[in-house]
């Protein structure tokens, strides 16, 4: 049985005051949900603050990005050892905003994934197609290519302790969610693909859906058999929306 996981990606939002209020608000309501894993990814400059004030052992911290390098002359970058010092346990890698706005290629993403694994943190590998690619019936090809480039670099065993997030690019921040059937279809394709390499890893790995998840649509998505949780952007900045999504995950699995 896969334990549901809900991860909030706060992106580049908030300030000290709003972030404190948000974490306290989330935690005051989250304390009574015990059967799911929960994660938040603040802007990394706020990781020390959250590490200090977060009282909830079941709300883990994630980074939105990492360097693939250990240390050295990489101006502006942050290493995995630095993230670990602030109890960061997960790292989002391959988010479509990193791919498109910051030119991260499948190769760079595979290197980052490998570095995250080596540092013994848990990668949340994001994959997904653009609208043009979906309309050209290329969804499966694109998503599997994104996954295969990581398998080629690190091997299937590296997926044992990692998470995949299917995030159709056309659904991110647009208010346009994939239908539960569209999402389930990609999730089961991904799982079947992994099963060809390693049946146990495929059946154990958690595959999250991301792209305009809200309190109102979470239940229909999270009840699909291959959707094991959500990567939540905009709605994770609103405590009661995030909690409703967590409750939907909690009741249904």
Binding mask 190-219 for ligand PGA (x = CB under 6 A): --------------------xxxx------
Q: Which is nearer to ligand PGA, 40 or 235 (CB)?
A: 235
d(CA 104, CA 24): 34
Q: Could you say whether residue 233 binds ligand PGA (CB under 6 A)?
A: yes
The answer to whether 227 touches 187, Cβ cutoff 8 Å, is yes
Q: Which is nearer to ligand PGA, 44 or 172 (CB)?
A: 172
Cβ neighbours of residue 227 under 8 Å, at least 6 residues apart? 180, 183, 184, 187, 207, 208, 209, 221
Which of these segments, 30-38, 181-189, 230-238, 244-252, binds ligand PGA (CB under 6 A)? Answer: 230-238
Count of residues of this chain found to bind ligand PGA when the rule CB under 6 A is applied? 13
Q: Residue 202 is encoded by which pair of tokens?
A: 């495929």
Q: Could you say whether residue 184 binds ligand PGA (CB under 6 A)?
A: no
Q: Which is nearer to ligand PGA, 127 or 202 (CB)?
A: 127
Cβ at position 72, least distance to ligand PGA in Å = 30
- Which residue number places its CB atom closest to ligand PGA? 233
Annotated catalytic residue 34: no
Q: Could you say whether residue 172 binds ligand PGA (CB under 6 A)?
A: yes
Cβ at position 198, least distance to ligand PGA in Å = 26
Q: Could you say whether residue 173 binds ligand PGA (CB under 6 A)?
A: yes
The answer to whether 232 touches 238, Cβ cutoff 8 Å, is no
Annotated catalytic residue 198: no
Residues at the site binding ligand PGA, with contacts judged by CB under 6 A: 9, 167, 172-173, 210-213, 231-235
């Amino acid at each position: 049985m896969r334990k549901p996981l809900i991860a909030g990606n706060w992106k580049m939002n908030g300030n000290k005051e709003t972030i404190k209020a948000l974490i306290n608000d989330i935690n005051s309501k989250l304390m009574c949900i015990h059967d799911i894993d929960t994660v938040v990814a603040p802007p990394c400059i706020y990781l020390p603050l959250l590490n200090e004030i977060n009282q909830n052992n079941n709300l883990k911290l994630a980074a939105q990005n990492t360097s693939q390098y250990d240390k050295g002359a990489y101006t502006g970058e942050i290493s995995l050892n630095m993230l670990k010092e602030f109890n960061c346990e997960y790292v989002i890698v391959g988010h479509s905003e990193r791919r498109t706005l910051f030119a991260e290629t499948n190769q760079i993403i595979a290197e980052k994934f490998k570095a995250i694994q080596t540092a013994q943190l848990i990668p949340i590998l994001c994959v997904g197609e653009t609208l043009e690619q979906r309309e050209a019936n290329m969804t499966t090809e694109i998503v599997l290519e994104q996954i295969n480039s990581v398998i080629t670099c690190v091997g299937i065993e590296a997926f044992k302790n990692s998470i995949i997030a299917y995030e159709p690019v056309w659904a991110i921040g647009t208010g346009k969610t994939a239908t539960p059937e569209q999402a389930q279809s990609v999730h089961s394709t991904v799982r079947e693909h992994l099963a060809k390499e390693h049946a146990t890893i495929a059946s154990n790995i958690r595959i999250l859906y991301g792209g305009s998840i809200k309190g109102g649509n979470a239940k229909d998505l999270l009840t699909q058999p291959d959707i094991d949780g959500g990567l939540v952007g905009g709605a994770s900045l609103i405590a009661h929306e995030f909690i409703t999504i967590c409750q939907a995950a909690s009741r249904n699995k």
